[in-house]
Amino acid sequence: MSRCSISHKGIVREISESMIIVAIAAESACGDCHAKTICGFSEISEKLVHVQKDCSKQLKPGDEVQVVMDSKLGTKAVLWAYIIPLFILIASIFICMQLTNELLAACIGVSLVACHYVLLYKNQDKLDKRFSFSIKTNGYDNNY
């Protein structure tokens, strides 16, 4: 079974000792892409993607590369960024409505969603390792 992945062409903008920054321009083809709902690239004109550099493959700024991510990781990212906060909001409002008034229930719900995003932000390093991109050049898959 082949692995389904999301890929975008991009240009290497910057290379440091541990990171490669790739600029990806949204193309008109994004409108017809089946993965546009989980991708997020179709909503912006240019997106900078940070890719961990673990390999000795020689790249330089200006090189054209293909940035690839497993589509399952894209689905997990949508789950963490949108679905879980929505569930937190609805559940907390529903529960708090039984105990207090609507305004306080809404404030508690929004506060809990804000706490979820703060926790995601504080665990950004762990998430960056988990939701990693790879770079594909000249037909060879290079995991950076």
pLDDT digits (tens, 9 = 90+) for 86-140: 999 999 999 999 999 999 999 999 999 999 999 999 998 888 778 777 787 655 4
Specify the range with the lowest mean pLDDT, choosing from 26-40, 69-83, 87-101, 117-131: 26-40
Beta-strand pair 134-137/64-70: antiparallel
Beta-strand pair 64-70/5-15: antiparallel
Q: What pLDDT sits at residue 138?
A: 55
Band (17; pLDDT cuts 50, 70, 90): confident
Specify the range with the lowest mean pLDDT, choosing from 39-48, 49-58, 119-128: 39-48
Q: Give the residue, 113 or 143, on which the prediction is more confident.
A: 113
Band (57; pLDDT cuts 50, 70, 90): low
- Domains in the chain: boundaries: 5-142
Q: What pLDDT sits at residue 1?
A: 42
What's the N-to-C CA distance of the chain in angstroms? 24
Look up residue 34 and give its DSSP letter.
T
Tokens 């912006």 belong to which residue? Answer: 44
C-alpha span between 128 and 139 (Å, rounded): 25
Q: What pLDDT sits at residue 85?
A: 98
